[in-house]
Amino acid sequence: IWWLDPELTYGNAKPFVFTQGHSVCNRSFFPCFDTPAVKCTYSATVKAPAGIQVLMSATQSTYLEEEGVYQFYMEYPVPAYLVALVAGDLIHADIGPRSRVWAEPCLLPTAISKLSGMVERWLSAAESLYGPYIWGRYDIVFLPPSFPIVAMENPCLTFIISSILESDEFLIIDVIHEVAHSWFGNAVTNATWEEMWLSEGLATYAQRRITTETYGAAFTCLETAFRLDALHRQMKLLGEDNPVSKLQVKLEPGVNPSNLMNLFTYEKGYCFVYYLSQLCGDPRHFDSFLRAYIEKYKFTSVVAQDLLDSFLNFFPELKEQCVESKAGLEFERWLNATGPPLAEPDLSQGSSLTRPVENLFKLWTTEPLDSAAAASSADLTKWRTFQTVLFLDRLLDGSPLPHAVIKKLSECYSSQLDSMNAEIRIRWLQIVVRNDYYPDLYKVRRFLENQMSRMYTIPLYEDLCTGTLKSFALEIFYQTQNQLHPNLRKTIQQILSQGLNPLPAIDTTAVTTDTPAMVLEDKVSEATNGAISLRDVNVSA
C-alpha cells in the first residue's frame, strides 16, 4: 500500500494512496490466499474523506455521498494480486462507449487528447481476434510518478504511470499490452509464478497481433526488434546459463516471484508462442485456437501443459507430426533450456523502419568517421520514437565511443533530442554519462531535477555511479531527494552507497560549490546490481 503526501502528486493538493498487488504484495492489504492458483469474487466497503475519489478493480460500484462510503463488487473470480485500490484527487472523462480515463485535474486534458477513441479501437480489434471482452468496462487511471512499474492490468481499471503520457508510442504499446491481459492473465491465469510466461508471453503475442491489425506489420516488427534487442542485451549481462532465462524458472523458498520477472518472461515467452503460431501455417488459425483456449479456461488458472495439450488437441495433424518433439525445437527444451529463444520471428516486414536505423548506426560507428555523411543521412525529427530509441540503445551498447564521435553526435542531435519525449532523452543522457561528455552534463542534472519516477531516475544514477561521476550524482540527489518517494529514495541511496568513495565535484556551471556533506543509510545486505539498469528490464506488469 503506497501512501503519498500531496507534494508527491502532480497537483500537490491532496494525499494519494494506491495498492500494487503483483505478485505477492496483497497479503499486506487484506488476508488472502496470495497465489494465482486461487480465484474468487470480492466485495469491498471503503470510507474516504470528502473530495477524495476512490476506485477499485471491480465490475460494480456505488457511492453514498452523505456517508462518504464507496461500495465495490467484482462479480468474476480473480486471483488476489488483481484486487487493486486507488484514492486521491481524481476526475474522469469518457473516452469511448465503455471506457473512461481518470487522472489528476492537471493531467486529464493530456490523457483525453492521447486516448480519446483509441481504447475502443484496440478493444474491438482484440475482440475480433480473441472473442468478447468479458469485464464490462475498461477504464484507465493515471498514477503519480511514484508508481513503481509502468502499468498494471487490474481488471476493469488499468493502472498506468503518468510519466508515460509524453511518449506516445510507448503509451500505445503499454495500454494495448494491458488490454491483451484482459484475455491472457486476467481471464486465464498462470497457476504458478514459475510460469509467468503463460500470462506475459501470450499477452505480448496478443498485443502484437492487435498492433498489426491497427497499425500494420511494419510498426509491430519495429517494436519487436527494439524489445528483442533489449532481450539480447539482458542475455549478455546475465550469461546464457543463467537459470532466470528459463521459461519454467524454479522458485526457491523465500524468493519474491517479482524478482524472477524479466524480459525472458515477456520476449522468450513471446517467441515460443509465435513459434506455435507458425506451426499452424496461418496466424488466423492460431487466433481461433486461442479463442477456444480462452473459452475453455476463462476464470481459471492453468499450467503450461494445459496450454500445450489444448494446442495439440486443437490441431490433431500437428500432433500426428509430433511437432512437440521436433529436434532442437522440442516443447520441453523451449520451457526448460537456459539461453536465448530457440527461434525468433521474421521481422523483415519492418525493414522499411529498421533499415534506416541500422544504416545510421553503421555510419556513426565505422572508422574513419564521415561525420558529414552521418549527419545528413537521417532526420531524427521525422523518425518514429521506436526508431530513435533503437538507434540510441545501439549507441549505448557501443559506449564508450571515441571522443570525436560523441562530440559530433552532440553537435548533430543534442538540441533536437532536447525537445523529444523522456524515453528518448534518457537514452541520450545515458550516452552522455557513459562517455563522460561534460559539455552536456547540465542536461543530466536538469532531467533528474524534474523526474520523480523509477523508470527515469534509476538508470541514470546507476550509470553515474558506475563511472567517474558519483560525486555529481550525490549532489543532484541531495538537492532532489525530498521530491522522491521514500522507496525510490532508499533505492538510490543503495546505488550511491556501493563502494562509496566521493570524488571531487565536476566543474560544470550547473554544479553548486556549497553542497553539504550527505550521510547515506547503511548498506543493505543485498547489493544493488548496477550492471542491469531499468533501461534493460523496463517492462509492464
What one-character-per-residue DSSP string does 319-383 give?
Answer: HHTTGGG-TT--HHHHHH--SS-SS----GGGHHHHHHHHHHHHHHHSSSP-HHHHHHS--GGGS
Cα separation, 527 vs 498, whole angstroms: 7
Strands (E), 117-192: 139-143, 151-152, 157-161, 188-190
| C-alpha cell of residue 457 | 531516475
Detail the residues annotated as belonging to a binding site: 177, 181, 200
Known catalytic residue at 178: yes
How far is Cα 272 from Cα 340, in angstroms, rounded to an integer? 11
Rounded Cα–Cα distance for residues 3 and 382 (Å): 41
| Secondary structure percentages of the chain, helix, strand, coil, to 5 | 50, 15, 35
Please say whether the beta carbons of 105 and 269 come within 8 A. Answer: no
Binding site members for Zn(2+): 177, 181, 200
Q: Indicate which residue of 70, 138, 266, 275 is catalytic.
A: 266
Residues 6 or more apart whose Cβ sits within 8 Å of residue 457: 448, 451, 484, 488, 492
Task: For residue 93, give the amino acid letter.
Answer: A
> Is 66 an active-site residue?
no
Among candidate residues 104, 178, 194, 475, the one labeled active-site is 178
Task: Name the DSSP letter for residue 280.
Answer: T
Catalytic (active-site) positions: 178, 266
